[in-house]
Structure 1
Amino acid sequence: MTWSEFIRPAQRRFRRSRAELIKQLHPEIEGALVVDLGGSLSFWAEVKEILKPGKVIIYNISPNAVNTGLTHTDDNIEAHLYDGKRVPMEDGSADFVLCNSVIEHVPPDQREGLAQEIKRIGRHYVVQTPAKSFPLELHFGLPFMHWLPRPMGRKLAPLSPFGAMLSKSHALRYFDETQLLPYREFQGYFPEAKIHTERFLGLPKSNIAVT
């Protein structure tokens, strides 16, 4: 069994569980205009039946995320490329902004800018990121890897279950762009939000900022 075959069912369960939490916190998301920053069509294929938004607009910097499977989506889902900095929408024009497992891939000096864009366009937002305190680094499938000094973690990336499916250069690039956020850093970008913690086996798996 490959790493992707092992992790995909778990990812689906976590995504659906997160969608249930969002619906519980904000039942008014049903029928609302939702902007998903850094999202994908595959994510909405899994959670749309739970959240039931009126319309979804996805903005992503990756052509794969916005092009793959577009012909199979419903009419109320759009996907667009953007520059990763300014979202081409008016202030307060989205009912909700979702941003799932994205901010840890944003360079640290650009994270504040992403947070400000989320708050600029959305009347409410839900931002999720993996908890750095969780012992398993879920991007690569190795325990404690993200707790090591970055040079040591980088050496392990090509040897990880995820890295074994990629070329060495791809694994290293992915490692370089992935830096998990400590709780206080994440909280600092969204001080007005309520931080909910998803847990797995009693351990904090991810943090979710909600307004």
Structure 2
Amino acid sequence: MSRLTALRSRFVDAPDSLGAKARARRWSWVTQVFPGLADMTVIDLGGTASAWLRAPVQPAHVHVVNLDVSETELPPWLSVAVGDACDLRSATHGTRYDLVFSNAVIEHVGGHIRREQFAEAVYDLADRHWVQTPYRYFPVEPHFVFPGFQFMPMAVRAAAVRRWPLVHTRPSDRESAVRAVAEIELLSKTEMRHYFPRSEIHYERLGGMVKALIAIKR
């Protein structure tokens, strides 16, 4: 492992990293908000089966919908399907669930109209939900682990991401760098309240600063 890979692992990927500790705190919070999680049917929009296999609570059933599905040989309580979180007709066939769960997905769906469609799907799929997204004004952009990255002009971000050592997968050319940068649109508190007007908006903090926004309906 290179020094730079080790540095990213320390912050984000390793089991004892800051990111892993944040994920553990988030799971603890989820189980406090939804104490009956073990008996619920859950649809996870944009998640992975592996995340649920590591979760501290096993729900009655979890249906993961993602554009890229690679997991196989899953336990009976866990299923995956290829689907668009903004247009779920083919992935859910009108099924209702006890809980919609989504972690850091809405900022990737592509534009204001698509985010509205995503939020409408969340409300349609279940009476309860937990939808988390990184906060735009936290000083470190979480996908690239780069201070102030989200405030830079697009051209500067595209150039930087090809050289920044903490990027998970470094783009090979300018076109793919622009695409990688453009695919992420972090949300403000105002936007989150707009998309989820019937939900409670909670703040996940780090060092006293708001790090992530969570729309919760119990």
Same fold by TM-score, threshold 0.5 exceeded? yes
How far residue 26 of structure 1 moved from its aligned partner, in angstroms, is 1.3
**Structure 2 length normalisation: TM-score?**
0.86
Question: What does residue 94 of structure 1 align with?
Answer: 97
Question: What does residue 180 of structure 1 align with?
Answer: 186
In 2, the alpha carbon distance for the partners of 1:161 and 1:104 equals 23
Question: What does residue 55 of structure 1 align with?
Answer: 61
Tell me the SS of whatever aligns to 1:36: strand
Question: What does residue 189 of structure 1 align with?
Answer: 195
Question: What does residue 80 of structure 1 align with?
Answer: 81
Per-residue CA deviation, residues 4-41 of structure 1 (Å, 9 max, x unaligned), is 42211332222221111111111122210000000012
Tell me the SS of whatever aligns to 1:23: helix
Tell me the SS of whatever aligns to 2:165: coil
Unaligned 5+ runs, structure 1 = none
CA-atom RMSD in angstroms: 1.9
**Contact persistence 2:106–2:115 (CA under 8 A):** yes
Question: What does residue 42 of structure 1 align with?
Answer: 50
In 2, the alpha carbon distance for the partners of 1:93 and 1:164 equals 35
Q: For 1:93-112, what aligned pairs fall within 5 Å after superposition?
A: 93-108=96-111, 109-112=113-116
Unaligned 5+ runs, structure 2 = none
**Residues 89, 27 of structure 1: alpha-carbon distance in 2 compared, 3 angstrom cutoff:** same
In 1, the alpha carbon distance for the partners of 2:190 and 2:47 equals 24
How far residue 157 of structure 1 moved from its aligned partner, in angstroms, is 1.7
**Contact persistence 1:139–1:162 (CA under 8 A):** no
**Residues 142, 92 of structure 1: alpha-carbon distance in 2 compared, 3 angstrom cutoff:** same
The letter of the residue matching 2:189 is Y
In 2, the alpha carbon distance for the partners of 1:196 and 1:184 equals 13
Tell me the SS of whatever aligns to 1:124: strand
**Contact persistence 1:92–1:123 (CA under 8 A):** no
* Higher helix proportion: 1
Question: What does residue 35 of structure 2 align with?
Answer: 27
Tell me the SS of whatever aligns to 1:210: strand
**Structure 1 length normalisation: TM-score?**
0.88
In 2, the alpha carbon distance for the partners of 1:189 and 1:151 equals 29
In 1, the alpha carbon distance for the partners of 2:196 and 2:127 equals 14
How far residue 198 of structure 1 moved from its aligned partner, in angstroms, is 0.7
Per-residue CA deviation, residues 107-155 of structure 1 (Å, 9 max, x unaligned), is 1131100110111011211100001111001111110011223333232
**Contact persistence 1:154–1:172 (CA under 8 A):** yes
**Residues 29, 148 of structure 1: alpha-carbon distance in 2 compared, 3 angstrom cutoff:** same
In 1, the alpha carbon distance for the partners of 2:79 and 2:168 equals 34
In 1, the alpha carbon distance for the partners of 2:123 and 2:29 equals 20
Q: How many residues get paired?
A: 204
Tell me the SS of whatever aligns to 1:199: strand
**Residues 148, 155 of structure 1: alpha-carbon distance in 2 compared, 3 angstrom cutoff:** same
In 2, the alpha carbon distance for the partners of 1:168 and 1:120 equals 40
Per-residue CA deviation, residues 72-127 of structure 1 (Å, 9 max, x unaligned), is x3221101101343223365710000011001111113110011011101121110
In 1, the alpha carbon distance for the partners of 2:168 and 2:114 equals 30
Per-residue CA deviation, residues 27-56 of structure 1 (Å, 9 max, x unaligned), is 122210000000012221322x2x331110
How far residue 166 of structure 1 moved from its aligned partner, in angstroms, is 2.0
